[in-house]
A = this chain, B = another copy of it.
């Protein structure tokens, strides 16, 4: 079992719904691209390295993940991170990943701690974080586009109502 930091990252600024039949097709705007790139670089520069970045299948989340991939992190799509995705199924995956202690990417396994990035949507991301923090959704966390929430997940037990919040960074702080 391995200690994990989970970083919930909201996708960058995306195009308006007008012009797109499906919400999932909306891409990042030019501003969204630019700001997200700055933030991904800054986080890397600050020493935050992801062993894996999971992302929602929606275009704006995929594009956000691609920007993080430029920093050298492995990325993987997860349907659980789509809006109203299945938290329980994601948690099963997570527990398994944490137990194996093996990242499929740059670290090659056997590490004593892992960093996992989750790129998705609101209100799901902050709701997931809140369940890990205090076991229920309280809707008190404010996560802006390209903002980031950092949670420390304990080693041996369930992360639910058992994690610590060590970071909540509004995007403007990293620009």
Contact = CB atoms under 8 A, between A and B. Distances in A.
Could you say how many copies of this chain the assembly holds? 2
A14 to B, nearest CB: 21
A117 B71 CA distance: 36
Interface of A: 46-47, 133-134, 138, 140-142, 152, 163-170, 172-174
A38 to B, nearest CB: 14
A113 to B, nearest CB: 15
A142 B168 contact: no
Contacts of A163: 140
Contacts of A172: 46-47
A168 B166 contact: yes
B170 A142 contact: no
Contacts of A170: 166-167
A167 B172 CA distance: 11
A170 B48 CA distance: 12
A169 B169 CA distance: 6
Contact of A169 (B47, B134, B141, B167): B167
22 contacts: A47-B172, A134-B134, A134-B138, A140-B163, A140-B164, A140-B165, A141-B164, A142-B152, A142-B164, A142-B165, A142-B166, A165-B168, A166-B168, A166-B170, A167-B168, A167-B169, A167-B170, A167-B173, A168-B168, A169-B169, A169-B173, A173-B173
Contacts of A174: 173
A164 B141 CA distance: 6
Contact of A165 (B141, B164, B173): B141
